[in-house]
């Protein structure tokens, strides 16, 4: 069985790496947060000293990092994985980054005969923990087929969406839909509350109809319980929507809903809620309406 390097042990990366260990894969890990590394090492992984060190010990590297600059630094920077990755090895970048950066990194790796898949995920911390993430992949069909079993240890749905960069284009589309859904659920529950109708009963009444969605089922209970501990932080969603808007500008695609959601999230960040779960979008509406959504 191939040895896998895993770099990036945050909210998502830590449970994803643990699921690889549970599936029997040999893992060498690295993160700038020593406590996260120690926790995964305790679960059975080997500790890597740097991205370069991880790459020297592994046949495949998985990265799960915050954004494009961090991916470029870990892959192409000083002590980056490109320095020690062997020809024929592969990078599976599961970070959510700009599609053009995925293509730039892939081209640099290809010059050294190193393969790459961009494979961002959706589902947040709960689905990272129970290995039911949706994984959107860009890259070569043969590479996808070879590493599909690895990705299936972390996700319930793994779909090849096209060539390199297609995974991150798909993730941007996903983040538009998620942001718009959370905003719509927030708007609806604040309307119900302001009109004197129990928002929990509204949720129960509409969740089984056309308005129902995975987003509603996951986020409405958090709003009603005032539970804003992050499964996915507002700051990270802002990062993704920035990538949406930059990409859309480059191809002249209209994004009025994304722009509206972005303004709401930036307002919440200004109010000190950037590290709250994106279900806290309801608080933007509550502030304007002068009400609080509760069961």
Q: What is the SS3 assignment for the chain?
A: CCEEEEECCCCCHHHHHHHHHHCCCEEEEECCCHHHHHHHHHCCCEECCCHHHHHHHCCEEEECCCCHHHHHHHHHCCCCHHHCCCCCCEEEECCCCCHHHHHHHHHHHHCCCCEEEECCEECHHHHHHCCCEEEEEECCHHHHHHHHHHHHCCEEEEEEEECCCHHHHHHHHHHHHHHHHHHHHHHHHHHHHHCCCCHHHHHHHHCCCCCCCHHHHHHHHHHHCCCCCCCCEHHHHHHHHHHHHHHHHHHCCCCHHHHHHHHHHHHHHHCCCCCCEHHHHHHHHHHHHCCCCCC
Q: Which residues pair with 186 in a beta bridge?
A: none
- Written as six digits, the tokens of 270 are 């200004």
Contacts of residue 270, defined as CB under 8 A and 6 or more positions apart, other chains included, come to none
- Helix 234-251 to helix 166-194 angle (10° resolution) is 120
Q: Which of 52, 127, 171, 219 is catalytic?
A: 171
Is 171 among the catalytic positions?
yes
Written as six digits, the tokens of 120 are 């961002």
By annotation, the residues acting in catalysis are 171
């Amino acid at each position: 069985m191939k040895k896998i390097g895993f770099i990036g042990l945050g909210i998502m990366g830590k449970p994803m790496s643990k699921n690889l260990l549970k599936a029997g894969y040999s893992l060498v890990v690295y993160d700038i947060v020593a406590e996260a590394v120690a926790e995964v090492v305790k679960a059975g992984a080997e500790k890597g000293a740097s991205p370069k060190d991880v790459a020297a010990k592994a046949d495949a590297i998985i990265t799960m990092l915050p954004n494009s600059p961090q991916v470029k630094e870990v892959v192409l920077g000083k002590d980056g994985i490109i320095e020690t990755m062997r020809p024929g090895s592969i990078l599976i970048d599961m970070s959510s980054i700009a599609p053009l950066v995925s293509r730039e990194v892939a081209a640099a790796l290809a010059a050294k005969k190193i393969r790459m898949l961009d494979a961002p995920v959706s589902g947040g911390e709960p689905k990272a923990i129970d290995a039911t993430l949706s994984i959107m992949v860009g890259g070569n069909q043969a590479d996808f087929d070879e590493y599909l079993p690895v990705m299936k240890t972390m996700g319930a749905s793994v779909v090849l969406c096209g060539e390199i960069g297609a995974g991150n284009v798909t993730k941007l589309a996903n983040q538009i839909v998620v942001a718009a859904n959370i905003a719509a659920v927030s708007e609806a529950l604040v309307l119900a509350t302001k009109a004197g109708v129990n928002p929990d009963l509204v949720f129960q009444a509409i969740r089984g109809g056309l308005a129902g969605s995975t987003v509603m089922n996951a986020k409405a209970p958090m709003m009603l319980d005032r539970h804003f501990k992050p499964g996915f932080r507002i700051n990270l969603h802002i990062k993704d929507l920035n990538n949406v808007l930059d990409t859309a500008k480059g191809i002249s695609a209209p994004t009025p809903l994304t722009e509206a959601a972005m303004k709401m999230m930036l307002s919440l960040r200004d109010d000190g809620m950037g590290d709250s779960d994106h279900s806290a979008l309801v608080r933007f509406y509550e502030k304007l309406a002068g009400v609080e959504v509760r069961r």
